[in-house]
Amino acid sequence: MKIKKTLQLLWVSVFVVTILLILYPVGKGIARLFIALSIPLLLLGFSVFIWEKKKLRPLPWLFFFILSSLFFLPGKTINKEQLQQSYLSSLKSYTHTRYVWGGENSLGIDCSGLVRKALIQVTLKQGLRELNSALLRSSIQMWWYDCSAKSLRDEYRGMTKRVFSATNINSIASSQLKPGDLAVTSSGQHVLAYLGNQEWIEADPDLDIRKVIIVKAPSTDNPWLKRPVYILRWKLLRE
């Protein structure tokens, strides 16, 4: 009985730490590793609470097997139009979220965290809804391989594809863009996402703003719209 209570207390401790790490806006490599290891352990470890009910003992293992198998099944064709629309909605849902360097959730987010987190969310949701392992694997991959605006500019791990360069966002015709495209400054310092109708969304680090905003191009007020940029497209959203 004492061992059971100890294991239950350990399970609760790991659960609390995992939730805190998920909620903490700034993700670190060691935190990702802890979360990746703790989730399957929590699923399997839940059996310690129902051990006395023999008929229920297999349930955590069965649930773990079903959930994990979803990530290894052959992938289905991805509905990219639906994914694109969901991505735009997810981006907009972060409007007014405070800017936090290295942040990647609704409690605080930065420029690269914004464009990545929105896609991670929609690929996970659509993947679970359609039982599409290709989307689930893509979601986990993007979450695990955290990257900066500079890495997105450099087509990190093939996640993005460079389309063209421009002297600035203000000079780009809307016909050259597709909703969901990314504009990364040539310095790799900042990234914005295109929403359509000449609107862009960004987690602006400017001290007078420091939040997620939507800006309309052309504009002389926003300095990020006047810098040289590379236009990139997410591999998942490409035709």
**Per-residue pLDDT reduced to its tens digit, 187-225:** 999 999 999 999 999 999 998 899 999 999 998 889 999
pLDDT reading at 143 higher than 90? yes
With the C-alpha atoms ordered 18, 22, 23, 28, is the resulting torsion angle positive or negative? Answer: positive
Please tell me the CATH code under which domain 80-237 is placed: 3.90.1720.10
**Residue 234: what pLDDT?**
96
Domain parsing of the chain, residue ranges: 2-69, 80-237
pLDDT band for position 239 (cuts 50, 70, 90)? low
Q: What is the pLDDT of residues 164-179, one digit of tens each?
A: 999 999 999 999 999 9
Q: Quick one: what percent of the chain has pLDDT higher than 90?
A: 74
Average pLDDT, the chain: 92
